[in-house]
Amino acid sequence: MAVIEICLDCDDRALLVHNLDKVYQAGAQRIELCGAMSDDGLTPDIDAVKLARRTFATRAGVLVMIRPRAGDFYYDADEIELMVAQIKSAATAGADGVVFAVLERDQSEQPCFNLSAMTRLVAVARSLKLQVSCHRGFDVLENRELALQQLIALGIDRVLTTGSLWGESCKAIDNIQSLRRIIQLSQKQIEVVIAGGITPAMAQEIAQQLSDLQGDISLHAFSGVLTSNKINSDAVQALVNLS
C-alpha cells in the first residue's frame, strides 16, 4: 500500500489551519510543510510546525522542508550551519522528519551530492530521532544510480522525484519509464516518493503502470489536491482510497 504524502504551503496561517484539518481528516499518512511554495518550497516558520504537530497528534507524519533560500542547492558553510539550526528547531517543535539535499560540483563540473554536508545533516537529524528525506535536489543529478547508492549509504529513508531532470517536464505520468528505472535501482532499500502533478486519476494510472514492480513507493501531492488554494478533502480521500 502506497503512503500518501501531502505538501502544504505554510505562509497563510489561517489557510494552513484549514488545510491541516482537511488533510488529517481525509486520512493522509504524511505531510510536508513548506514555506514560499512560489520558490519551490523553503523552510517554514516554527509556529507552522507546532500547528501541524497539534493536528497530527496521533499520526507520525510531520515532515519539514529544510531549505534556507531559493535558487540552487549549493550551500556555503554559513548556510549549512543555518540548516543544522533549522533541523534542531523542527525537532523541538515536534517534527517527525526533515527534507533536504545539498549539492556540489565534481571535477567535471557535473552536479553531485555534497557528501560531507549531507553526512553531517543526516547525523544531526538522526541524533534527534528524525526521519530523513531527500527532496528534488535529486532530480538535478543525471547519474541516478550513483545518487541512489549514495543516499542509501547515507541511511536516508526516502527520495522525492518526478522522474524528470530538474527544469524538464515534471508531470509524473510523463516520466513513467524513468520512474520505473529509479524504483528498480532503489532495490527496496530506499522509499521512492513520486511527485509531479499527482491527482487521483493520475495516481490510478501510475499505480497500474508500476504494479509489476517491487519496492517502497509513495505518492506526494500538492496542486493536484487543491481547489482555490484550499485542500480538496475529496481528492485527498480518493488518493488514500487508491493507496
Torsion over CA: 120, 45, 77, 142 (sign): positive
What is the CB neighbour count within 10 angstroms for residue 58? 6
**Is the Cβ–Cβ distance between 138 and 101 less than 8 Å?**
yes
Residue 2: its pLDDT value, please?
83
Instruction: Please give the Cα distance from 3 to 30 (Å, whole number).
Output: 8
**Hey, what's the cell of 226?**
487543491
Asked if 54 contacts 85 with a C-beta cutoff of 8 angstroms, the reply is no
Q: What is the pLDDT along the chain (243 residues), one digit of tens a residue?
A: 589 999 999 999 999 999 999 999 999 999 999 999 999 999 999 999 999 999 999 999 999 999 999 999 999 999 999 999 999 999 999 999 999 999 999 878 889 999 999 999 999 999 999 999 999 999 999 999 999 999 999 999 999 999 998 888 789 999 999 999 999 999 899 999 999 999 999 999 999 999 998 889 999 999 999 999 999 999 999 999 987
pLDDT of 35 reads 97
Which three-class secondary structure string do you get for the chain?
Answer: CCEEEEEEECCCHHHHHHHHHHHHHHCCCEEEEEECHHHCCECCCHHHHHHHHHHCCCCCCEEEECCCCCCCCCCCHHHHHHHHHHHHHHHHCCCCEEECCCEEECCCCCEEECHHHHHHHHHHHHHCCCEEEECHHHHHCCCHHHHHHHHHHHCCCEEEECCCCCCCCCCHHHHHHHHHHHHHHHCCCCEEEECCCCCHHHHHHHHHHCCCCCCCEEEEECHHHEECCEECHHHHHHHHHHC
How does strand 226-227 pair with strand 230-231? antiparallel
Q: Name which of 125, 134, 45, 135 is nearest 93 in CA terms.
A: 45
Q: What is the pLDDT of residue 1?
A: 55
Work out how many domains the chain is built from and give that number.
Answer: 1
Q: What is the pLDDT of residue 73?
A: 97
Dist. CA 164–CA 170, nearest whole Å? 6
- Provide the grid cell at 137: 535536489
- Domain extent, residue 93, equals 3-242
Q: What is the CATH number of the domain that holds 131?
A: 3.20.20.380
Cα–Cα distance between 238 and 163 in angstroms, integer?
23
